[in-house]
Structure 1
Amino acid sequence: MSETGPFVVFANFLSDLAVDLGEGQVLTQWAQQAPRKAWLLRAGDVLVTPVPLSREFLRYVCDLTGVLPETVTVVEVPASGPVPLARAVREAGLAEHVRALAGDRGAALLPTALDGSAIAFARDLGLAVHPYPTVDAAAAALKTTMLLNTKAGFREAAEHLGMRLPAGRVCRRHETEGVARELLESHERVVVKPDRSAGGHGLRFVSRADLRGGAALELDTVGGPEGTWVVEECLDVVESVSIQLETTASGTHALFSGAMRTADGSFTGYLSPLPPSSAHSAEELEKWGTALGRHLADHGYAGPFGVDALVNADGEAYASESNIRRTATTTPHAMVTRLTAASPVTRPAWSVATGRTRRPLGFDGALDRLREHRLAFDPASGEGVVLYADAPPDGRSWRYAVIAGSVGDVAEREAALADALDFEGR
C-alpha cells in the first residue's frame, strides 16, 4: 500500500494493548478522544469511531485541513461495552459496510493500537495494516508490541539497551508488599505499577508511613489477582518528559520531544519542544529512543513509538516506560505539522491540555469565543488555539491545542484562553 492510498482510520482506544480490557471505565473515558482522529483524514479516507463526531466539529476540521467533507466517511459504532472496537463493529453489523467503503482501492487499516483484534479485523476485510506491507508482517510484530507496552517488558529491554532506570523490581501481585517494604528500607517512597497500564492509571504511591505498624498494602484490581507488577523507587521528580519517534525501513527517526503535564502520576497534557529546564535531556532521550527503535525493528515492528522519562532534582533523566503505539501526542503532533506546513512558523511550539469551563458550551459557542478574543487558529500565521477533540459530553471539559512560535508564546495564549472560555481555577 502506498503512503497516498486510502486509510481506514481505526480509533480502537478500546484495546488490551495499553490497559487490561477489564479496566472498562478508563478505556471508555479514553475513547472520548476518538474524534481527534479526524485530523488524520484525507480525501477518500474512512474513520471508524466508537463515539460520534458532531457535524460542527467535522466541518471545522475540514475547513482547516482543506479536505472536502463529502470526500470522507465517518462510521460511528454504537456503544458495546468494554470490548475491542473490531468486535463492536461486528456486533453492530457494520463490518460489511466498512469493507464496502474500503473497496478494492488498496486501502490500509490505520489503528490507534496494533493489537490482535485489529490485525484479525484487517485480515477479515482484506486490508493491509499501515505501515506494514502485509497483515502477516503486522502480526509478526504483535508479540514485541504487546511486551514492550508492559512495565516489566520495558525494564528488561531498557536494561539491555543501557538506559538509566529507577531502582526497582518486577514481581507478582502477592509479592508487591514485601518488595515495597524492602525498597522502602533505602528509599523514602516507592511507586507500585500494574504491568499493563498507561497514562498513570493504576499507579500507587507508597511511603514508609503508609506501611508503618504492620499496615497492609492494599492494591485495587488492576492487573488481576495474580498479575505482574513493578515496584520502583519514587524519584524526586521535577519534570516528566518524553520523546516520540518512528521506525521505518530507512531507520529510526526522532519526531518530537516535550514535557508531560501530570497530576499524581497521571497524564494531563503536553508541551513541545522541551522547555529550557529539561532541554539538556533531549540528547539522551534521543539516544535511548534510537536504541529502542533498532531493537523494535529487529523484532519486526514499524511505526510510531515513544519513551517516557523522569528528570530528578539533579537534572538526571531516568527512563520510565515505552509506548509502542500511537500515543496521546502522536495525532496532535500530526495535526500541528499539517496545519503549519504552509505557514511562516517553521518550528512551531505547541501544547495540548484540558480546561474546565464554569458553564457548559456547545462547539460553535466555544469556537465563537475563540474568534471574539482573536485566539482561534489562523492558517495564515500558523498560530492559535485549536479545539482538537470536539465538544466534550459535559460541555465543560474542553481539550485544546495551542500552536505558536515559541514556548513562551504558547504560555501567553493559554493564559488568554483560560480567560476567554472562563476556565475554573484561572
Structure 2
Amino acid sequence: MPRVLLANPFSHAMAARPEDIPDDVVPYYDAMADRLLWTLGPGDVGVVPGPVNHRFLSYMCDLLGFAPEQLTMLSLTGYESSSWYPGANPKLVADVADAVDRLGRDRDWHVTCYIRDRHVVAWERALGTADAASAAFADNVAEMLNTKSIFRAVARAAGFPIADGRVVAGGAELVDTVTELLATTGVVIVKQDMNSGGDGNVVIARPGRVGAVAPGARSVLTVDGPGREDVERALSGRHLADPTAAPVGYGPAAYVVEVFHPRCSSFYVEMEVPRDGPVRLSNYGESRMTPLWSGFEIPPRTLGSEHTELLCTGARQLAELSRSFGYVGNLDCDAIVTEDGEMIFNEFNGRVGGATHIDALCTRILGPGYLDERILLTSNAVPSPGFDDLVRGLDAASLHLDRGRGAGVIIAQDNTVATGTVEYVVVGRTREEAEEYEAGLRRVLGGSDRPD
C-alpha cells in the first residue's frame, strides 16, 4: 500500500504554540521528522519540514535494499509557507498530487504522519484518502490524547495508578498548588499540558531533595523557604507566577503539577490501535534518562515479569479506551516504577512514539521476531563527527550491522550538519554483545565507552 508521509512534529497538537519553538530546538524537531523515513518504501512520497538529507537517505535505502531514486522526497523549505495546513501551501499540495498521479492514482494510497492532527485530515480530504476515522481526528482526538490533563482524567476514571497531583493554570493557582504539595513531599514536577520529551517540565524542590538535574525535566528550581512567597519568587524566574507577563516562548498554558519521584525507572509501550481487531503491541522498553529521555534499552533491562505484565496489560487497556474515543493508529504509553516498587502510569501519546522508527527498521532488517531475539541499545542527540567520517570510522572498526549475524551498529538518524549529533541503534544477540558494540561505537565517536 503506497503512502504519502507527512513528517509533521511541528504540530499545534504537540505544543501550545508551535511558532514559539526556540530556534535552537527546531533542528531536533527536524530530526524527529527524519526518523519516519525508515517507514518508507519504493514508490512512496515523503514530505519533511527540514532540508532533505540525501546522504543519509542513500545510507538508509542501502540498508533497506532499494534505491533512493524510488522515493519522491519534498521539503517544506522549498515552499513559501512552513505550515502543514494544505490551504496555506497550495503549491505543495499540487506537487504531492502530481507525484501521486505519476506513480499511479489508482493505487491504494494512504496518508501517514507523525501525528494525525486536523491539518493531516485536511490533507486526506485534499488527496481523496479520508477514511471512516477521519471525522474523529478532525474533532481533535489526537490533540486530546497528547494532553497530560486529559490523560489524568481518563486514567483516574479507569482506576489506573497515577501520581498525586492537580491540573492548574499558571499564576496564583500554580503557586498555591506547588506550595501545598512541596510542604508534603519536598519535590514536585510542573509539566506543560501540551509538550513532549521533557520540554516544558520543571522540577521544584526543597534544598537537598534532588541534584542539579532530574530525570524527565528540562531544569530544576530550588525553593529555599517553606512559604508561598518563597515559591512565588522561584517561579517568577521562569515566568510561571505571572504568565501574562511572559515573553514569547513562555506563553500562558495549562500545567500539571505532580509529586515527583527522582529515583525511578521509566518505561514505555508502543502499540498499533486498529479500527477493528486486537490492539498490537509493537515494542516496549526502558528509557535512558540523562536527565531527559536520551534513548532506550529494548527490551527493558530492569523490569521484572510482574511489572512487565502490569505495564503491557495497562497499556492495552489504555489503547482500548483510546479506541472508544475514535482513535486509531500509533499509541505510546509511559509509566514509572518508584523506589517502593509501585508502577505509576504518567501519560499516553496518540502519535508516533520515540521507538516507532526503531521498530520499523528492525522489523524490516532483522525480521518481525527481533524483540524476542535481540537486545537493542539506542541513544539520540549524540555528538558525532560528520556523517561520512562516522561511516568510515564504523567500517574501519567493523562495527556496522552485519546482516548475516544480525548484530552491529545502525545509524538511525543524521543531524550532524545542523547540531553535530546522530542517533544510533546498537543490535546484539546478547546484552554483552550489544554493550561491546556500543563501547566500540563510543570510541569511534571520540567519547567514553559508556553512554552519558
Shared fold by TM > 0.5? yes
Q: Would you say the 8 A contact 1:344–1:381 is kept in 2?
A: no
Aligned to 1:256: 283
Percent identity between the two aligned chains: 27
- Summarize the Cα distance change of 1:263–1:87 in structure 2 as closer, same or farther, 3 Å threshold: farther
CA distance, structure 2, for counterparts of residue 80 and residue 228 of structure 1: 33
2:319 maps to 1:293? yes
Q: Would you say the 8 A contact 2:188–2:258 is kept in 1?
A: yes
- Summarize the Cα distance change of 1:158–1:108 in structure 2 as closer, same or farther, 3 Å threshold: same
What letter matches 1:193 in structure 2? K
Cα drift, residue 225 of structure 1: 5.2
Equivalent in 328, 332, 349 of residue 354 of structure 2: 328
- Summarize the Cα distance change of 1:28–1:409 in structure 2 as closer, same or farther, 3 Å threshold: same
Aligned to 1:375: 399
2:447 maps to 1:419? no
Aligned to 2:118: 116
Aligned to 1:131: none
Cα drift, residue 81 of structure 1: 10
CA distance, structure 1, for counterparts of residue 271 and residue 128 of structure 2: 29
Where do residues 222-301 of structure 1 align in structure 2 (5 Å cutoff)? 226-248=252-274, 249-264=276-291, 266-277=292-303, 280-301=306-327
Query: CA offsets per residue over residues 238-276 of structure 1, 9 Å max, x none?
Result: 311111112111121222111111233x22111110103
Aligned to 2:73: 74
Greater mean alpha carbon deviation, residues 384-393 or residues 324-333: 384-393
Where do residues 199-218 of structure 1 align in structure 2 (5 Å cutoff)? 199-209=197-207, 210-211=222-223, 212=225, 214-215=229-230, 216=232, 217-218=235-236
Aligned positions, number: 412
What letter matches 2:152 in structure 1? R
CA distance, structure 2, for counterparts of residue 64 and residue 188 of structure 1: 50
Q: Would you say the 8 A contact 2:400–2:409 is kept in 1?
A: yes
Query: CA offsets per residue over residues 150-203 of structure 1, 9 Å max, x none?
Result: 110000111122211111011111211100111112101000111111100011
CA distance, structure 1, for counterparts of residue 416 and residue 286 of structure 2: 25
Q: Would you say the 8 A contact 1:304–1:325 is kept in 2?
A: yes
Aligned to 2:337: 311
Match of 1:251, SS?
Answer: coil
**Structure 2: which 5+ runs fail to align?**
208-221, 240-245
Q: Would you say the 8 A contact 2:362–2:370 is kept in 1?
A: no
Where do residues 71-150 of structure 1 align in structure 2 (5 Å cutoff)? 71-78=70-77, 83-86=82-85, 90=89, 93-103=91-101, 104=105, 105-128=107-130, 134=131, 137-141=133-137, 142-150=139-147
2:15 maps to 1:19? yes
Aligned to 1:166: 163
CA distance, structure 1, for counterparts of residue 370 and residue 170 of structure 2: 53
What letter matches 1:112 in structure 2? Y
Greater mean alpha carbon deviation, residues 66-75 or residues 335-344: 335-344
Q: Would you say the 8 A contact 2:166–2:258 is kept in 1?
A: yes
CA distance, structure 2, for counterparts of residue 185 and residue 117 of structure 1: 44
- Summarize the Cα distance change of 1:318–1:10 in structure 2 as closer, same or farther, 3 Å threshold: same
Q: CA RMSD in A?
A: 2.6
- Summarize the Cα distance change of 1:155–1:355 in structure 2 as closer, same or farther, 3 Å threshold: closer
- Summarize the Cα distance change of 1:294–1:81 in structure 2 as closer, same or farther, 3 Å threshold: farther
Query: CA offsets per residue over residues 284-309 of structure 1, 9 Å max, x none?
Result: 11121111111111111111111111
Greater mean alpha carbon deviation, residues 82-91 or residues 20-29: 82-91
Q: Would you say the 8 A contact 1:278–1:311 is kept in 2?
A: no
Q: Would you say the 8 A contact 1:270–1:351 is kept in 2?
A: yes
What letter matches 1:47 in structure 2? G
Q: Would you say the 8 A contact 1:28–1:82 is kept in 2?
A: no
Q: Would you say the 8 A contact 2:298–2:371 is kept in 1?
A: no
What letter matches 2:187 in structure 1? R
- Summarize the Cα distance change of 1:197–1:314 in structure 2 as closer, same or farther, 3 Å threshold: same
Q: Would you say the 8 A contact 1:383–1:405 is kept in 2?
A: yes
CA distance, structure 2, for counterparts of residue 87 and residue 101 of structure 1: 16
Q: Would you say the 8 A contact 2:148–2:194 is kept in 1?
A: yes
CA distance, structure 2, for counterparts of residue 407 and residue 327 of structure 1: 24
- Summarize the Cα distance change of 1:23–1:282 in structure 2 as closer, same or farther, 3 Å threshold: farther
What letter matches 2:285 in structure 1? G
2:186 maps to 1:188? yes
Aligned to 2:212: none
- Summarize the Cα distance change of 1:205–1:302 in structure 2 as closer, same or farther, 3 Å threshold: same
Aligned to 1:55: 54
Q: Would you say the 8 A contact 2:188–2:259 is kept in 1?
A: yes
Equivalent in 168, 174, 177 of residue 176 of structure 1: 174
What letter matches 1:252 in structure 2? V
Aligned to 1:32: 31
